[in-house]
Structure 1
Amino acid sequence: MFSPYYAWDPARDPFDHCALNVVLYGRPGRFCMTERGRAALSRDADHIRIGPSAMEWDGTSLTVRIDEMTAPLPSRVRGTVRLHPGSFTQGPFTLDAAGEHRWWPMAPSSPVEVDLAEPGLTWRGTAYFDTNHGDGALEDAFASWTWCRADLSDGAAILYDVRRRDGSGQNLSLRFDRTGARRDIRPPLPAALPSTGLWRIPRETRSDDGRSRVLRTFEDTPFYARSLLASTLAGEPVQAVHESLSLARFRNPLVRLMLPFRMPRRTR
């Protein structure tokens, strides 16, 4: 959905613009997002392959087999991620007034196993799994959004605040237990956050007491920021993964010209 090659392609064939995005924020950090053409894609009901990487669903677990190269400096990321969702939530949610953009937090808190050979990295924990699909360009429907997800003692909380280009908005405050059942959550209060340091991306969130602080900024780009926050949600102190997206900035042609620096394209 952020592919500059897709935006520049008169045919606008989505199957000719596919990528598996892999990001590691530890040491060493890695970022992979190589776009590939239709010849590198194969898929059926429970399997998708994009170049040397693939994902498959066996009815109980999702296995992601990663074999990618970073950019702009080449290094390999290779290994597997296995997600074990016990059940799925009901969904999806519609984000725009026309009903063209849908978001489904399918498994907000699921066991995950990460085993990477390159770089050598292994861990177990909980993971978040969602899906987005739409019938139009994001930048035509939205001006910006913020999203936030945090583990709770019995599941996860998710906040989604959308600002549409027509001036309207939508605020979602969601809580799910580990079975995927939706639970009530007290509407959190607006909480201000500082803009990012380099690109000055605006950040804001919500919390029980109207307070939150940035523990770490993972991504600071011209149109997108990802951060780790300390907040209080559903009565619990949490560390939440947060994102801020400025689609008004993404519309700028100069911003799109920057993307190939981290998102190379291969035909196969």
Structure 2
Amino acid sequence: MDRDGYVWWYVDALSADGRQGLTVIAFVGSVFSPYYAFDLARDPFDHCAVNVVLYGERSNRFCMTERGRASLFRDAAEIAIGPSGLAWDGTELTIRIDEVTAPIPSRVRGSIRVRPPGITPGPFHLDAEGAHRWWPLAPSSPVEVTLSEPSLSWSGTAYLDTNHGDAPLERDFSSWTWCRAELPDGAAVLYDVRHRDGGGRNLSLRFGRDGTRRDIRPPPAAALPPTRLWRMPRSTRSDDARSAVVRTFEDTPFYARSLLSSRLAGEPVRAVHESLSLDRFRNPLVRLMLPFRMPRRA
């Protein structure tokens, strides 16, 4: 990986009853890191993190500690960053977590097991030059979450993808929206990216549980209200051009995460949705706010 590059592995999981959720992202070249943004060396291996976010009914927990290259281990089957890591044995992805929240410290410790029934073909290019590649590896997989701190266990479904890039996201994109929804026979994934030059790309995808890609027409656009606190713009797609926000998980200056009630592939669905504004992210004032939530350790 060269200067300015990045790779991340992303797991998004939701409990069967929809009341609990989590996100795990393992970064080499942490794309949203203020330390990486201001580092003149632009060495991705010196900006690594395992970000963990727990979404509960009453409150959320955020672990976003960045670490340097001395904390990174990786081989063909495993990546470890400090005390946390991901390991793949050919059939199961095991994630071990031992992190601390910020700005108020509390421990998040335990394991997550994802068992993909199949792997999709990929990757997809998000830009014309192929500088940014996205691969939705396993859009619909059983997941088991077992945490000792906080004491928590649940099962549900998970989405797994990976992204690789050769340039900062904010250089080539102004914004994007993404969502994924479970279907009776798999999952639907919608990805709309807006390029910095004013163009864009829509990827409307449907996959069987075994990873087989199936045809789907891009659904029409559906408007969503902005978030309450930071007024983050939100939009999505649905069969009937209508969608409703069930819950807003995160409302930040440049990123929003929500649970939607919508309709895709002819089915009523609950969709996990995100909106990202890279125009807002590259504002220096926003980046100066991030260290309060994203501490750095050697």
* Short-chain TM bin: over 0.9
Q: State the SS of the aligned residue for 1:19.
A: strand
State the alpha-carbon separation in 1 of the partners of residues 109 and 274 from structure 2: 26
Alignment of 1:104-119 (within 5 A): 104-119=135-150
State the alpha-carbon separation in 2 of the partners of residues 130 and 49 from structure 1: 17
The percent identity for this pair of structures is 76
Give the CA deviation at 1:187. Answer: 2.5
What is residue 44 of structure 2 aligned with on the other side? 14
Q: 1:150 aligns with which of 170, 174, 181?
A: 181
Count of aligned pairs between the two proteins = 267
Give the CA deviation at 1:125. Answer: 1.2
* AA at the equivalent of 2:183: L
Give the CA deviation at 1:56. Answer: 0.8
Give the CA deviation at 1:11. Answer: 1.3
What is residue 44 of structure 1 aligned with on the other side? 75
Give the CA deviation at 1:186. Answer: 3.3
What is residue 92 of structure 2 aligned with on the other side? 61
Deviations 1:128-187 (A, max 9, x none): 000011000000000101001000000000010111011111111100010100111233
Alignment of 1:22-101 (within 5 A): 22-26=52-56, 27-101=58-132
State the alpha-carbon separation in 2 of the partners of residues 33 and 22 from structure 1: 7
Q: 2:211 aligns with which of 159, 170, 180?
A: 180
Q: 1:213 to 1:28 in 2, by over 3 A?
A: closer
Runs of 4+ in 1 over 3 A off after TM superposition: none
Q: 1:208 aligns with which of 222, 235, 239?
A: 239
Q: Does 1:233 align with 2:264?
A: yes
State the alpha-carbon separation in 2 of the partners of residues 59 and 95 from structure 1: 27
State the alpha-carbon separation in 2 of the partners of residues 260 and 187 from structure 1: 38
State the alpha-carbon separation in 2 of the partners of residues 266 and 238 from structure 1: 40
State the alpha-carbon separation in 2 of the partners of residues 34 and 244 from structure 1: 22
State the alpha-carbon separation in 1 of the partners of residues 218 and 170 from structure 2: 28
* AA at the equivalent of 1:74: P
State the alpha-carbon separation in 2 of the partners of residues 211 and 28 from structure 1: 28
* AA at the equivalent of 2:67: R
Unaligned runs of 5+ residues in structure 1 are none
Q: 1:121 aligns with which of 146, 152, 155?
A: 152
Unaligned runs of 5+ residues in structure 2 are 1-30
Q: State the SS of the aligned residue for 2:41.
A: coil
Give the CA deviation at 1:86. Answer: 1.7
Q: State the SS of the aligned residue for 1:71.
A: coil
Q: TM-score, normalised by structure 2?
A: 0.88
Give the CA deviation at 1:28. Answer: 4.5
State the alpha-carbon separation in 2 of the partners of residues 260 and 96 from structure 1: 30
What is residue 229 of structure 2 aligned with on the other side? 198
State the alpha-carbon separation in 2 of the partners of residues 186 and 167 from structure 1: 23
RMSD value, Cα: 0.8
Q: 2:278 aligns with which of 223, 238, 247?
A: 247
State the alpha-carbon separation in 2 of the partners of residues 114 and 221 from structure 1: 26
State the alpha-carbon separation in 1 of the partners of residues 203 and 69 from structure 2: 36
Q: State the SS of the aligned residue for 1:173.
A: strand
* AA at the equivalent of 2:70: A
Deviations 1:197-232 (A, max 9, x none): 111111000100000000111111110000000000
State the alpha-carbon separation in 2 of the partners of residues 28 and 146 from structure 1: 24
* AA at the equivalent of 1:12: R
